[in-house]
C-alpha cells in the first residue's frame, strides 16, 4: 500500500520523506488555505521534495475552465496529478487529461457507482472519502470493499486512493481490503507507530540495561 500525505505543510512532508514513509502527497483547497501559502508556489515546492504523485485540485466547475487550470498546474512538474471533482465535467476533463498522459485524481467519491464512472473515464486514482462517509452514517470501509470488487471484476487499472482517513484503523482496514493507496494527515501516519507495549518494552529494556552498568559506546 502506498502512503500519501494529506497536507500542504512542507515541513511535515519533508519529515515523512526523510522517514521513508512518503510515496506521494494530496492537497485540496482547504489544506492550501490552512497552510497560508500561495497555491502554485507550495505545489511546486512539494513536487520538488516528493518524487511520487502530488495532487493539485482545480477549482473551476466547467470543463473548459478545468482544462485551463490543469494546463497551469501540470506545467509545474512532471509528477503533478490533476485533481478533479466527480462531476460530468470533471470526468470529461479526466478523460482528456489522462489521454494526454497526465495523472488524474478523481476526488469527492461517495459511491461505488461514482467509482465505476471514474474508472471508465480512465482515472489514475479514485478518492473515496471514508471519514466523511462515516460521518453521515454510511460505512466508508464497505465502500472501499465494493470498489475493490468492481475494479477487480473488470481489471480496471484505476488505483483506489482511500481519502478522508481519520484514524489508524482506517489505514489497517483499507490495507486488508487491498486499497492501492491511502492519504492521511501526517499526524495519523505517525499514530501508526504507537503501541503501549512497544513503549513499555523500551522502558523495561532500558531499566535492565542501566542495571548492567555496561555501555555500548
The set of cell numbers assigned to 96 is 482528456
Residue among 95, 120, 132, 190 that touches ligand E4P (CB under 6 A)? 132
Place of cell 500525505: 5
CA–CA gap between residue 121 and residue 93 (Å, rounded): 9
- Residue of 165, 159, 172 lying closest to 140 (CA atoms): 165
Minimum CB separation of residue 138 from ligand E4P in Å reads 13
Residues from 26 through 85 that contact ligand E4P (CB under 6 A): 26, 28
Q: CB-wise, 98 or 164, nearer to ligand E4P?
A: 164
The yes-or-no answer on residue 83 being catalytic is yes
CB 53, CB 5: distance < 8 Å: no
Which residues inside 82-101 make contact with ligand E4P, applying CB under 6 A? none
Set 34, 83, 194, 215: catalytic member: 83
107 binds ligand E4P (CB under 6 A): yes
Q: Is 124 in the site for ligand E4P (CB under 6 A)?
A: no
Give, in order, the Cα–Cα distances in Å from 97 to each of 70, 73, 87, 88, 122: 8, 12, 15, 14, 9
Asked if 114 interacts with ligand E4P (CB under 6 A), we say no
Residues 83 and 70 sit within 8 Å (Cβ to Cβ): no
State whether the Cα torsion 22-7-186-15 is positive or negative.
Answer: positive
In the bound complex, what is the minimum distance in angstroms from residue 87's beta carbon to ligand E4P? 15
Among 3, 39, 110, 129, interactor with ligand E4P by CB under 6 A: 129
Residue 183 touches ligand E4P, criterion: CB under 6 A: yes
Question: Considering the rule CB under 6 A, would residue 6 count as an interface residue with ligand E4P?
Answer: yes
Measure Cα distances from 106 to 143, 161, 176 in Å: 16, 9, 23
Enter the C-alpha cell of residue 161: 486512493
Binding residues for ligand E4P (CB under 6 A): 6, 26, 28, 107, 127, 129, 131-132, 163-164, 183
Residues assigned a catalytic role: 83
Amino acid at each position: 500500500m502506498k502512503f500519501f500525505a494529506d497536507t500542504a505543510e512542507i515541513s511535515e512532508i519533508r519529515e515523512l520523506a526523510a522517514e521513508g514513509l512518503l510515496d506521494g502527497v494530496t492537497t485540496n483547497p482547504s489544506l492550501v488555505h490552512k497552510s497560508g501559502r500561495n497555491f502554485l508556489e507550495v505545489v511546486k515546492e512539494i513536487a520538488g521534495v516528493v518524487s511520487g504523485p502530488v495532487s493539485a485540485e482545480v477549482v473551476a466547475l466547467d470543463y473548459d475552465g478545468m482544462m485551463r487550470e490543469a494546463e497551469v498546474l501540470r506545467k509545474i512538474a512532471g509528477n503533478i496529478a490533476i485533481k478533479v471533482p466527480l462531476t460530468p465535467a470533471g470526468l470529461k476533463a479526466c478523460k482528456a487529461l489522462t489521454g494526454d498522459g497526465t495523472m488524474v485524481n478523481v476526488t469527492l467519491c461517495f459511491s461505488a457507482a461514482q467509482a465505476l464512472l471514474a474508472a471508465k473515464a480512465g482515472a489514475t486514482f479514485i478518492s473515496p472519502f471514508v471519514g466523511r462517509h462515516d460521518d453521515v452514517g454510511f460505512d466508508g470501509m464497505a465502500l472501499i470493499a465494493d470498489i475493490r470488487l468492481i475494479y477487480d471484476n473488470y481489471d480496471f487499472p484505476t488505483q483506489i486512493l482511500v481519502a478522508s482517513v481519520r484514524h489508524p484503523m482506517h489505514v489497517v482496514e483499507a490495507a486488508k481490503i487491498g486499497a492501492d493507496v491511502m492519504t492521511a494527515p501526517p499526524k495519523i501516519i505517525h499514530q501508526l507507530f504507537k503501541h503501549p507495549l512497544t513503549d513499555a518494552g523500551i522502558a523495561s529494556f532500558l531499566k535492565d540495561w542501566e542495571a548492567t552498568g555496561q555501555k555500548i559506546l
